[in-house]
Amino acid sequence: MKYYIIAGEASGDLHGSNLIRELNLLDPQVLIRGWGGDLMQQAGANIVKDYKELAFMGFTEVIKNLPAIMGNFRFCKRDVQAFQPDALILIDYPGFNLRISQWAKKKGFKVIYYISPQVWAWKENRVKTIKECVDKMLVILPFEKEFYKRWGFEVEYVGHPLVQVINEFMKRSSEEVAKHGELNSLPGVYGQRENKPPDRTQRLPVIALLPGSRKQEILKKLPVMLKVSKWLPQYKFIVAQAPGLDEFFYEDILKNYPEVSTIRGGTYELLSTASAACVTSGTATLETALFKVPEVVCYKSNAISYQIAKRLIKVKYISLVNLIMDKPVVKELIQGELIPENLLQALNEILNDPSRIKALDADYDELKRILSNKGNASANAAKSIADYMDG
């Protein structure tokens, strides 16, 4: 089989890489070409466009970069036609992938979508496009199956791939601690025989800052997070750098905060030790919860982009944790609410309020149970794709 995979973000590169490994196990002769990053390349894909070139966020940013975006569409269409895959596998990245799915369907290519666009949050009319242009949809959030059913479209829930990713990380970390006594530059990560996050008494006085992966969102959120570091000197604040951005970008933002550190390529190690985290909305909120780190979810965007989005978004929450649990498990500070004083108050609650901490731990346990009940999502997705192509 020949597959053309399109992943336009870091999370898509991660989940795409695990899907590729599972596809290779089922078919060692599989050929994969597409868009992604280093992880997909290492898994065996021939990457022709790096996702780091595609990071445009928000309405105004998209308009400003429209010539580059249209050039990417033209390049993709030419490349797909030259490769002639048996199917396209699209991973999230809806602004681009839904348009490509329309073109691909007209050209006679099979279209498989892995990790649904968040059409349940806004632009529900996109479901009509999905029904017309997507042959098979594989979803990773439990409520998505029922959502699509209301639109008369049968989809398959395969489980969430992050559960397996984090379980495997914790297993490797436990083995490394047992062998060497520490994990990379962050000591005291796991007990020697435990394949789970450390309990609260084992965590370090560290607050993780996960401000996002795109320059625009980091410039909006990180300065607010950094101001709080001045008020909590008993904690070490560490910024998780995005893999697609150079260190000079962070140096300029951090020049007035010499006490704040950064870590590159070690976000999971950071979450393994942190006592709390400030996290931008998105997949990182779920990763933080699966590591059982108390978190405050932070969202702030361009004022015009936010006002447009506010009128379109239909969900009660912006974090995946709260959406899946259907209740406010973690505090969300959105736009004007995201100020240093509010962030400090929210952090103090999850660091010092025993009843709040206990309730959060219980909710995190339930969240993991919900997301784990299907087993290995990447393997499930690969098998579903292989069965569909053989059918």
d(CA 118, CA 123): 9
pLDDT tens readout for residues 314-361: 668 889 999 999 999 999 999 889 999 999 999 999 999 999 999 999
Choose the weakest-confidence range: 57-71, 221-235, 377-391. 57-71
Rounded distance, CA 288 to CA 333, Å? 16
94-106 vs 66-83: helix crossing angle, rounded to 10: 40
CA-based nearest residue to 12, from 135, 133, 111, 140: 140
CA distances from 290 to 160, 280, 356, 378 (A): 11, 15, 17, 17
To which H or E segment does residue 308 belong? helix 303-312
Element (H, E) at 89: strand 87-91
What does the pLDDT read at residue 65? 63
pLDDT digits (tens, 9 = 90+) for 53-81: 775 544 445 566 667 778 889 999 999 99
The amino acid present at 343, given as its one-letter code, is: L
Domains and CATH numbers, the chain: 2-159+376-390 (3.40.50.2000), 163-372 (3.40.50.2000)
- pTM over the 0.85 mark: no
- In this structure, what token pair is assigned to residue 78? 């030419």
Mean per-residue pLDDT of the chain: 88
Measure the CA–CA gap between 331 and 347, rounded to whole angstroms.
9
Between 48-57, 184-193, 354-363, 380-389, the lowest mean confidence (pLDDT) is in: 184-193
